[in-house]
Amino acid sequence: MADDNGNVLNDIAPGSVRRVHLVGVAGTGMGSFAGLLKAEGYEVTGSDQNVYPPMSDMLHAWGIEAMTPYAAENLDRARPDLVIIGNVIRRVNPEATAVRERGLPQTSFPAAFGSLLIRDRHSVVIAGTHGKTTTSALMAHVLTDAGTDPTFLVGGVTLNYDGNFRHGEGRYVVVEGDEYDTAYFDKGPKFLHYRARSAMLTSVEFDHADIYTDMAHYERRRCRRTGCCSSARRTPMRWRWPSAPRAAACRRTRGAARPTTSRGTCASARRGRASRSPGRRATRASCCCR
């Protein structure tokens, strides 16, 4: 929808896009997302103020041109069907300004990830104040080892895959559900765009005081807005492990720790399927070896 922010799209039909340009491509998340889009078959370019190793080397290896610095002329060279605006980009950025003035279709990294990568797949979102990266990497490894060929994007370099993302052909997509704001034109949490079918909430502790006023505000964003306390969700979100790889996952984890427990203050989480007591604060992940 076109407004003062320009032609911002919240939902993109994958078949309507071929050339994608990322403004702020040298960031860890944006650069890796560019690599995922390239692996998905899109023509990808990007721009940033400066691009340094190791991201510059990685973008080059993936065949993604990174233009510097930010400038309206980058759009002439990229000729994008869709522009993805990174979280670090401010409204006054010359390239973002040109995108608005030209009415080019634009969206945020999380909205594009939801539309172009997740689509109708089973999204597994790992949210929480602490432990998101580690838990996301563990979940991605379990699903990979179980033979489900997942796609994942996490906030750190995984030792198993020598990177922070993997492009798979399976139905599962594991993503780290960051609670920070999405873009200069979308101040909601990133995880709202990730179409969660299954979710893990590792912990809730007040954080990001620059965008959340207090603990109550922080909790509302995590709970009510994700739909775990609402019956209005179009697709129910399950607070448990995906069912298909459960047997294989349990065989691989039985000799290590007991099944993971996700913790939260949400009333629905406290009334989870495996934890029926309404007074408890923990919901155990569903697992066949329990």
SS3 199: strand
72 CB-contact burial (10 Å; exposed 0-12 / middle 13-18 / buried 19+): middle
Per-residue pLDDT of the chain (290 residues; tens, 9 = 90+): 556 899 999 899 989 999 999 999 999 889 999 999 999 999 999 999 999 998 999 999 999 999 999 999 999 999 999 999 999 999 999 999 999 999 999 999 999 999 999 999 999 998 877 788 899 999 999 999 999 999 999 878 888 887 889 999 999 999 987 776 778 998 777 778 889 899 888 866 645 445 545 556 545 555 544 444 333 334 444 544 333 334 443 443 344 333 333 333 333 333 333 333 334 333 333 322 22
74 CB-contact burial (10 Å; exposed 0-12 / middle 13-18 / buried 19+): buried
Position 239 scores a pLDDT of: 45
Amino acid, single-letter form, for residue 248: A
Position 3 scores a pLDDT of: 64
- Going by their DSSP bridges, the two strands 82-85 and 106-108 should be labelled as parallel
Position 210 scores a pLDDT of: 52
> Domain spans of the chain?
2-114, 120-284
Tell the CATH topology of 2-114. Answer: Rossmann fold (3.40.50)
Position 205 scores a pLDDT of: 60
- What is the rounded CA–CA span in Å between residue 60 and residue 187? 32
- What is the rounded CA–CA span in Å between residue 81 and residue 251? 45
- What is the rounded CA–CA span in Å between residue 168 and residue 81? 24
- Going by their DSSP bridges, the two strands 151-158 and 172-177 should be labelled as parallel
- What is the rounded CA–CA span in Å between residue 190 and residue 87? 10
Q: Exposure string (b/e) for 123-146, b if CB count within 10 Å is 16 or more? A: bbbbbbbeebbbbbbbbbbbbbeb
Position 76 scores a pLDDT of: 98
Residues contacting 149, CB < 8 A, separation 6+: 168, 169, 170
- What is the rounded CA–CA span in Å between residue 206 and residue 189? 14
Position 188 scores a pLDDT of: 76
- What is the rounded CA–CA span in Å between residue 193 and residue 196? 8
Tell the CATH topology of 120-284. Answer: UDP-N-acetylmuramoyl-L-alanine:D-glutamate ligase (3.40.1190)
Position 201 scores a pLDDT of: 80
Position 139 scores a pLDDT of: 94
Position 131 scores a pLDDT of: 85
Position 93 scores a pLDDT of: 98
The full length of the chain comes to 290
SS3 240: coil
